[in-house]
Amino acid sequence: MLKIIEKNINQEIKKIQNRLSFDNHEEENKVKKILENVKTKGDKALFEYTEAFDKVKLKAIEVDFLEIEEAHISIKDDILATIRVAIKNVADFHFKQLPSSWGKTVFDKSLLAWRYSPLQKVGIYVPGGTAAYPSSVIMNTVPAKIAGVPEIVMVTPPDKTGQVPALTLAVAKEVGIEKIYKIGGAHAVAALAYGTKTISPVDKIVGPGNLYVTLAKKLVLGTCGIDKLAGPSDVLVLADETANPAYIAADLLAQAEHDIFASSILITTSKEVAEKVNKEILVQMKKLSRKQIIQQSLKENSIIIIAKNEKEMIKFSDKIAPEHLEIMTKDPLGITEKVKNAGAIFLGDYAPTSLGDYLLGPNHVLPTSGNARFDSPLSVHDFIKTSSISQVHSSLLKAYAPDVEKFALLEGLDAHANAVKIRMSSLKNLRS
The residues carrying an active-site annotation are 323-324
DSSP tag of 370: T
Confirm if 227 and 122 have CB atoms less than 8 A apart: no
Task: Determine the Cα–Cα distance for residues 212 and 187; give it in Å rounded to an integer.
Answer: 9
Residue 81's alpha-carbon distances to 75, 287, 356, in angstroms, are 10, 28, 18
Tell me how far apart the 2 most distant CA atoms of the chain are, in Å.
Answer: 92
Among residues 377, 98, 110, 343, the alpha carbon closest in space to that of 235 is found at 343
Contact criterion met (CB below 8 Å) for 304 and 274: yes
Q: Report the candidate in 141, 146, 118 with the shortest Cα–Cα distance to residue 203.
A: 118
Which own/partner pairs from 198-202 qualify as long-range (CB within 8 Å, at least 24 positions apart)?
198/43, 198/46, 198/61, 198/62, 199/61, 199/153, 200/121, 201/121, 202/121, 202/122, 202/123, 202/153
Burial of 394 (0-12, 13-18, 19+ CB in 10 A): middle
Of 242, 275, 271, 68, give the one whose Cα is nearest residue 154.
Answer: 68
